[in-house]
A and B are shown apart, each in its own frame.
Chain A
Amino acid sequence: MEPDFEKNIRLKVYEAEQYPVRWGKEELWARMEINRSTRSRRTVYFSIAASLMIAILAGIYTHQRTTAIPDKTIANENPVHLQPTEEVQQPSTSKNIPLNIEQDIAPKVISQNNARIRIEEEPYISALPATTSDSANIPEASTEIEVATAIHENINDEVSPENDVKRPKVIIGIIPQQEQALLTQQEKKKRFRFLKGKSSDGEPDGSQLIIARIN
């Protein structure tokens, strides 16, 4: 328990603190007001500067996105660059047409959208059993396949059974690396022919695959 004199001292101190005192009270309030207005003005300037910075960065980012990656633009325009939709995964008439792709199709140069892309055959792609009618319509090795842009417009278009049998279509396109994972190995074998791509200057381009879909 605290002694009485300590309590007494405390009361005396509190009493003394109640007495008015002459000091720079008004000046201190004025200083506080100035500080507050300066701080608020600084906050406004900072907000404007931050907004400008964000706008500039957003502009730079948008500009880079639109100009720096032409390959992506081509891929986006190309219908072969597709998400595997249900329609694609559904069994089509082409499923019933076996082809011996590995043996019969060996395109060395493919011209696509007026740009020549050198491609090499992937030896590990398993070939499906071919029929005579199929192999007759498939271009021979080391020929150039001109792929019309129109072909690319819709990969999901079903080909009529007659056309399918008589004239298998070859659609050339690019599948980005991340989308390849969406296709199962079996789907790849059945629907697409995968070939490693080379860019126009002949350098291997590991991030891309040229695929050919057999309808």
Chain B
Amino acid sequence: MAFLSIKPQPPNRLTEEDLVKKCKQGNGKAQQQLYTHYADRLYRLAYRYIRSDADAEDVLMTAFTKIFRGLNNFIYQGAGSTEGWMRRIVVNESLMWLRRRHNFNLTESLDASLPEPDLHAFSEQEAEDVYQLIAQLPTGYRTVFNLVVVEGYNHAEVAAMLDISESTSRSQLLKAKALLKKILTQEGYHYGT
């Protein structure tokens, strides 16, 4: 995956609401416009979970098929609601893809009394570095880290989504944070606690 150093494209002429309306009417051009506008972000979202170009594309294709099919049931609730809805579909598709290939229950539970690693230094990195460091994590850690820290789900929800126990979810997150701290230390960043 190669990143370009250009700024995001300006928004399209149609407003988000109009675009959704036209897509619901089956307008092919509007659907293409919706795809063009959101595909990059959603691709990077899928890649953050899948970590494979070709597989992320496959997941995205399935997700967009579901998006166009499910648009009739989608109710527009203001700016950003469309992207939020599409992001949820892509996350769900990515999780389905991961569940078929990875057993999230293989990680043993950790002692919950262990101190949680401080990720202040990590959060001070450049956005692109943060993205790349998360992508380096193993599948189990990365998935739980993405769901809890980035998407904002709690451990009960993550446990239900991945069909694991809450303690497994917590231990995965702890390990993910510990690994991130280790990577940053190895790369020479000063780390507190």
Q: Do A and B bind each other?
A: yes
What's the least CB distance linking B40 to chain A, in Å? 6
Q: A12-B131, A19-B128 are in contact. Are A28 and B60 (CB under 8 A)?
A: yes
In the assembled complex, A15 has its CB within 8 A of some CB on chain B: yes
Q: Given the complex of chains A and B, what is the CA–CA distance between A21 and B57 in angstroms?
A: 13
- The interface size of chain A toward B, counting residues with CB under 8 Å, comes to 26
- Which A residues are in CB contact (< 8 Å) with B152? 2, 10
Q: Given the complex of chains A and B, what is the CA–CA distance between A2 and B119 in angstroms?
A: 12
Q: What does DSSP make chain A's interface, helix, strand, loop or mixed? A: helix
Q: Given the complex of chains A and B, what is the CA–CA distance between A199 and B53 in angstroms?
A: 79
In the assembled complex, B64 has its CB within 8 A of some CB on chain A: yes
Residue from A5, A18, A24 in contact with B122 in the complex, judged by beta carbons closer than 8 Å: A5
Asked if B3 and A17 sit within 8 Å, CB to CB, the answer is no
Asked if B127 and A13 sit within 8 Å, CB to CB, the answer is yes
- Which A residues are in CB contact (< 8 Å) with B134? 13
Question: CB within 8 Å of B: which of A112-151?
Answer: none
Residue from A5, A16, A22 in contact with B119 in the complex, judged by beta carbons closer than 8 Å: A5
Chain B, residue nearest A3 (CB):
B119
Q: Given the complex of chains A and B, what is the CA–CA distance between A20 and B7 in angstroms?
A: 7
Chain B, residue nearest A8 (CB):
B123
Asked if B127 and A16 sit within 8 Å, CB to CB, the answer is yes
What's the least CB distance linking A3 to chain B, in Å? 8
Q: A5-B119, A15-B127, A17-B131 are in contact. Are A32 and B57 (CB under 8 A)?
A: no
What's the least CB distance linking A39 to chain B, in Å? 9
Q: A9-B123, A29-B32, A35-B65 are in contact. Are A20 and B40 (CB under 8 A)?
A: yes
Chain A, residue nearest B131 (CB):
A16
Which of the four size classes fits the interface of chain B?
A: 35 or more
What's the least CB distance linking B150 to chain A, in Å? 5
What's the least CB distance linking B101 to chain A, in Å? 21
Q: Given the complex of chains A and B, what is the CA–CA distance between A2 and B125 in angstroms?
A: 19
Q: A20-B40, A21-B2 are in contact. Are A13 and B130 (CB under 8 A)?
A: yes
Chain A window 22-35, contacts with chain B (Cβ cutoff 8 Å), 1 for yes, 0 for no: 11110011011001
What's the least CB distance linking B96 to chain A, in Å? 18
- Which A residues are in CB contact (< 8 Å) with B150? 9-10, 13
Question: CB within 8 Å of A: which of B88-116?
Answer: none
In the assembled complex, A162 has its CB within 8 A of some CB on chain B: no
Q: A12-B131, A28-B61 are in contact. Are A23 and B43 (CB under 8 A)?
A: yes
- Which B residues are in CB contact (< 8 Å) with A29? 32, 35-36, 39
Interface residues of A (CB under 8 A from B): 2-6, 8-10, 12-13, 15-25, 28-29, 31-32, 35
17 additional A-B pairs beyond A22-B3, A25-B39, A25-B40, beta carbons within 8 Å, are: A2-B152, A3-B119, A4-B123, A5-B118, A5-B120, A5-B123, A9-B122, A10-B149, A12-B123, A13-B131, A19-B44, A20-B3, A20-B8, A21-B3, A21-B4, A22-B4, A29-B39
Interface residues of B (CB under 8 A from A): 1-4, 6, 8-9, 32, 35-36, 39-41, 43-45, 48, 53, 56-57, 60-61, 64-65, 118-120, 122-128, 130-131, 134, 149-150, 152
Could you write out 12 A-B pairs with CB less than 8 Å apart? A5-B118, A5-B119, A6-B149, A9-B130, A12-B130, A19-B127, A21-B43, A22-B2, A23-B40, A23-B57, A32-B64, A35-B61
